[in-house]
A and B are shown apart, each in its own frame.
Chain A
Amino acid sequence: MPAEQPRPFLEMRRIVKRFPGVLALDGVDLDVRPGEVHVLLGENGAGKSTLIKILSGVHLPDGGEILIEGSPALIRRPRDAQALGISTIYQEFNLVPDMTVAENVFLGREPLSSRRLGLVDRRALLRRTREHLDELKLDIPAGAVVRRLGIAQQQMVEIAKALSLQSRLIVMDEPTAVLSAREIDRLFGVIRQLRQRGVAIVYISHRLDEVKVLGDRATVLRDGAKVRTVSVADTPVEELIRLMVGRELGEKFPKVEVAIGEEVLRAEGLTRRGILHGVSLRLRRGEILGIAGLVGSRRTELARALFGADPLDSGRIVLRGKPARIDRPGRAIEERMALVPEDRKQHGILSSMSVKENVTLGSIGAFSRGGFLDLAREKRHAREYATSLRIATPDLDRRVLYLSGGNQQKVVIAKGLSSRADIFLFDEPTRGIDVGAKVEVYRLMIELVQRGAAILMISSELPELLGMSDRILVMREGRVSGEFTRGEATEEAILDCALRGDAPVAGAREAPPP
């Protein structure tokens, strides 16, 4: 932490941002000083991304003000942020893969040899790029095609580009998520250089060990509000975790404990190179098994692998006591499994099709004779599910496009139900739906297990996991890093396990070493 306290380069005051149905940021303050590494901490959905998107001009705030060196600034689009000396390096890089390093660094600002003809001065382009790379002591050829560079080098090109823009503040969103240990060391070296030159860094990371090594101050966000800004050196990791979580289980979960029956699904050593590393789990009748983990901990990939949507390199799946070969989703559905995907719009609904057609898509074979549909019977069937799930739609022929998010989610669930599934894989089942609809989804899950179904529920909302699960597995980097029973699970313990993965927990089934 710097000895004196210079005037902040950036001050964000009482920033408010609303999305339909959600208050994403509720009066958040953030100040960042020159030459400081300022860490943003918070659980998934705490508002970190929204805050940096406002800072970089992707979102417009609904309230609050932004000051740059004490004077009010208007950031209406990414170009404004750039002009104010703010650059953002996202997890997905903004580089054109088939252009050279130099062309990328000066994209849109190419030095010209003839302004009238718009001719690019290639020599100046390469020379000036080399200057920026040298400043960072980087050994990357300015003429190299970006596609041929490794991830870490591409990240460095992004940083060089930020420097060439005379950036005074660089936002880095989980920059180490994709790097190896050695690459992380190099990145930290570069960040320290930037700090010495007075560049401010806003650093988002879930890895608290990194935060301790690199951070000067940390601002903790929770549920769209600022909890506190602390000095990293003076705050133990446990305290940081407590600040991130520190919330009562205020929401209501209609949890009913159901007698747990026999095992219906067992996964043994599921492995997909570079993604899943020997994941094993068991799921029993009447049980809700929660899967916790951070973004990128490969929970969705686990669900997709179980459902046959992605191929496995090794491992096996046992369904109701018999080994099963699930090599495509059609097989999973025949085995009475259902997947309610995380990304409803991309993977769940068929938006240009009707409610009826969506509901029956997975079970359409049941309403056909010789390939021809019995439309009346199909409609009765669809109505049954639409009614029992209380899908709010004027009629069954309404395109799903026109339903609200909560109702769309119910349509996706109805699609799973209608194929008579009794093993459900719910991936973020309540994401993006309002509180009322959430409770309905919870009730439905309870009804399902009461009828003897088994549910695997991936969720990034810890209260939901704790409120609904009988057992919770924690994933970290494609491995199961811990297991908790309903009684022993706490938010702190789960988050700790998801973040650090080294918490020994009773009953934990550690993945075998790869």
Chain B
Amino acid sequence: MTEAYLQESQAPPRGHPVLRVLGKIGMPAVVVMLAVFFGAMNPNFWSVRNLSNVSRQISILSLISLGQTFAILSAGIDLSVGSLIALVSVVCAQAMLSFGVAGGILAGILAGCAAGLVNGVVIAKARVPAFIATLGMLVAARGVALTLSGGLPIAGLPRSFLVIGAGYLGPLPFPTLIAAVAFVAAHLVLTRTVFGRYVYAMGSNEEAAILSGVDVPRYKILVYVVSGLFAGIAGVVLTSRVVSGQPTLGEVQELYAIAAVVIGGGKITGGVGGVGKTLLGVLVLGILGNGLNLIQVSSYVQNIVIGAIIVVAVYVDLARERRR
């Protein structure tokens, strides 16, 4: 009987040897290799100034990727996060002009949560597939942002608000710090709470989760509220960065958030992944974008490279899965 559990691991290795090696060393090594490569091509890569810039650039992507991690882990998806950034930005800026900085921030974050709540209810109660429900929200939230703002940026935000996007603690930009705190919090929620456990359970086998007593609709709604919450924080930070409420922020960011989750090794069908993996995915995208800029690859070509990386990363991951 002790041999029983060995059966699977004795399966012969499969896939191309290069991929097997890549699969074995895993994504952390890929991140290190990318950093070493770009550092060798352009020594400025390792400068404190550049690294601090990179970390700030990826903070927005980090935040929405965390929300996306919850959605994808639960076997769902949230296509609306990019548009939610715009919605949050407009709501935050308008509220701030009337109610002050704190009121604006609160209103922005609540707007994100509320939109997430709508997503969650439509998905969990009306049983509309997450892809469709959040696709609808992607279009509609952008429409709400444009309607509220009349299509124009909302300027005149208080100076004290701008510190969120522009301030530093030592060499660390505030957005970086906010993203770091969010990473830790999301990690704790996913690994140390009942909710986190249920997120994995829903994604691993929803039917079994229901039969194990998990109140799946309730926690599904919570997943999209959490995703909306992270989009809310991202929207507030970005609004501060660009010093105005803008209805055009965040376009296609939802796709990069999905890419970050799956590049890191999260399974698009749910149940497998986590905050650590998503961080790796975000780092790959961030370092690639920055490094390619430093070695003066045009942004057109960058898109080609990043697109290819997304597909290859998932392919390697699947090859690794099959090998097991």
List the interface of chain A (C-beta within 8 A of B): 307, 309, 328-330, 332-334, 339, 341, 346-353, 357, 361-362, 364-365, 368, 371-373, 375, 392-394, 398, 401-404, 406-407, 415, 419, 436
Closest to B8 in A: A402
Closest to B197 in A: A364
Q: Assess the B208–A348 pair: CB atoms within 8 A.
A: yes
- Taken together as a complex, chains A and B put the C-alpha atoms of A404 and B3 apart, in Å, by 9
Q: Assess the B5–A330 pair: CB atoms within 8 A.
A: no
- Taken together as a complex, chains A and B put the C-alpha atoms of A347 and B208 apart, in Å, by 4
Q: Is B296 in the interface zone, CB < 8 Å from A? A: no
Residues of B contacting A361 with CB < 8 Å? Answer: 197, 201, 209, 212-214
Min CB distance A441 to B, Å, is 13
Q: A339-B211, A375-B192 are in contact. Are A352 and B272 (CB under 8 A)?
A: yes
Min CB distance A311 to B, Å, is 13
Q: Is B44 in the interface zone, CB < 8 Å from A? A: no
Residues of B contacting A348 with CB < 8 Å? Answer: 208, 211
Q: Assess the A407–B193 pair: CB atoms within 8 A.
A: no
- Taken together as a complex, chains A and B put the C-alpha atoms of A346 and B205 apart, in Å, by 7
Residues of A contacting B208 with CB < 8 Å? Answer: 341, 346-350
Closest to B4 in A: A404
- Taken together as a complex, chains A and B put the C-alpha atoms of A19 and B240 apart, in Å, by 63
Q: Report the number of A-B residue pairs with Cβ-Cβ less than 8 Å.
A: 99
Q: Assess the B212–A415 pair: CB atoms within 8 A.
A: yes
Q: Assess the B193–A309 pair: CB atoms within 8 A.
A: no
8 closest residue pairs by CB, A with B: A404-B4, A333-B213, A350-B204, A330-B213, A352-B271, A361-B212, A362-B212, A352-B204
For the complex with contacts A371-B195, A373-B192, 11 further pairs of A-B residues with Cβ separation under 8 Å are A309-B211, A329-B212, A332-B213, A339-B211, A346-B205, A350-B271, A353-B204, A357-B197, A364-B197, A372-B193, A407-B4
Q: Assess the A368–B213 pair: CB atoms within 8 A.
A: no
Residues of B contacting A347 with CB < 8 Å? Answer: 205, 207-208, 211
Q: A361-B197, A368-B194, A375-B192 are in contact. Are A403 and B213 (CB under 8 A)?
A: no
| A-B contact list, 9 entries, CB within 8 Å | A333-B213, A350-B200, A352-B272, A361-B209, A364-B197, A373-B193, A403-B5, A407-B4, A436-B1
Q: Assess the B271–A393 pair: CB atoms within 8 A.
A: no
Q: Assess the A329–B210 pair: CB atoms within 8 A.
A: yes
Q: A352-B271, A361-B201, A373-B193 are in contact. Are A333 and B4 (CB under 8 A)?
A: no
Q: Is B2 in the interface zone, CB < 8 Å from A? A: yes
- Taken together as a complex, chains A and B put the C-alpha atoms of A245 and B64 apart, in Å, by 62
Residues of A contacting B215 with CB < 8 Å? Answer: 328, 330
Closest to B267 in A: A352
Residues of A contacting B8 with CB < 8 Å? Answer: 401-402
- Taken together as a complex, chains A and B put the C-alpha atoms of A406 and B5 apart, in Å, by 10
Interface centre among B8, B205, B272, by most chain A C-beta atoms within 10 angstroms, is B205
- Taken together as a complex, chains A and B put the C-alpha atoms of A307 and B9 apart, in Å, by 36
Q: Is B98 in the interface zone, CB < 8 Å from A? A: no
Min CB distance A298 to B, Å, is 18
Min CB distance B142 to A, Å, is 33
Interface centre among B2, B200, B213, by most chain A C-beta atoms within 10 angstroms, is B213
- Taken together as a complex, chains A and B put the C-alpha atoms of A347 and B211 apart, in Å, by 7
Q: Is B7 in the interface zone, CB < 8 Å from A? A: yes
Interface of B is mostly: helix
Min CB distance A38 to B, Å, is 39
Closest to A354 in B: B200
Closest to A330 in B: B213
Min CB distance A41 to B, Å, is 34
Closest to A401 in B: B8
- Taken together as a complex, chains A and B put the C-alpha atoms of A314 and B200 apart, in Å, by 35
Q: Assess the B197–A373 pair: CB atoms within 8 A.
A: yes
Residues of A contacting B209 with CB < 8 Å? Answer: 350, 361
Closest to A398 in B: B5
- Taken together as a complex, chains A and B put the C-alpha atoms of A365 and B198 apart, in Å, by 11
Residues of A contacting B205 with CB < 8 Å? Answer: 346-347, 349-351
| 8 Å CB interface, B167-223 against A | 192-195, 197-198, 200-201, 203-205, 207-215
Q: Assess the A333–B200 pair: CB atoms within 8 A.
A: no
Min CB distance A26 to B, Å, is 24
Q: Assess the A402–B9 pair: CB atoms within 8 A.
A: yes
Residues of B contacting A329 with CB < 8 Å? Answer: 210-213
Residues of B contacting A334 with CB < 8 Å? Answer: 213
Q: A333-B213, A352-B272, A353-B200 are in contact. Are A365 and B194 (CB under 8 A)?
A: yes
Residues of B contacting A392 with CB < 8 Å? Answer: 1-2, 4-5
- Taken together as a complex, chains A and B put the C-alpha atoms of A371 and B192 apart, in Å, by 8
Closest to B207 in A: A347
Closest to B218 in A: A330
Residues of B contacting A373 with CB < 8 Å? Answer: 192-194, 197
Residues of A contacting B213 with CB < 8 Å? Answer: 329-330, 332-334, 361-362, 419
Residues of B contacting A404 with CB < 8 Å? Answer: 4-5, 7
Q: Assess the B214–A330 pair: CB atoms within 8 A.
A: yes
- Taken together as a complex, chains A and B put the C-alpha atoms of A7 and B1 apart, in Å, by 50
B194 in complex: contacting residue of A328, A351, A371, CB < 8 Å: A371
- Taken together as a complex, chains A and B put the C-alpha atoms of A375 and B200 apart, in Å, by 16
Q: Assess the A307–B271 pair: CB atoms within 8 A.
A: no
Interface centre among A361, A393, A403, by most chain B C-beta atoms within 10 angstroms, is A361
Residues of B contacting A403 with CB < 8 Å? Answer: 4-5
Closest to B215 in A: A330
Residues of A contacting B193 with CB < 8 Å? Answer: 368, 371-373
Q: Assess the A394–B5 pair: CB atoms within 8 A.
A: yes
Closest to A349 in B: B208
Q: Assess the B204–A341 pair: CB atoms within 8 A.
A: no
- Taken together as a complex, chains A and B put the C-alpha atoms of A373 and B7 apart, in Å, by 33
- Taken together as a complex, chains A and B put the C-alpha atoms of A339 and B213 apart, in Å, by 10
| 8 Å CB interface, B1-55 against A | 1-2, 4-5, 7-9
Interface centre among A365, A375, A392, A401, by most chain B C-beta atoms within 10 angstroms, is A392
Min CB distance B40 to A, Å, is 38
Q: Assess the B204–A346 pair: CB atoms within 8 A.
A: no
Q: Assess the B194–A353 pair: CB atoms within 8 A.
A: no
- Taken together as a complex, chains A and B put the C-alpha atoms of A34 and B203 apart, in Å, by 52
Residues of A contacting B212 with CB < 8 Å? Answer: 329, 333, 350, 361-362, 415
Residues of A contacting B192 with CB < 8 Å? Answer: 372-373, 375
Residues of A contacting B2 with CB < 8 Å? Answer: 392
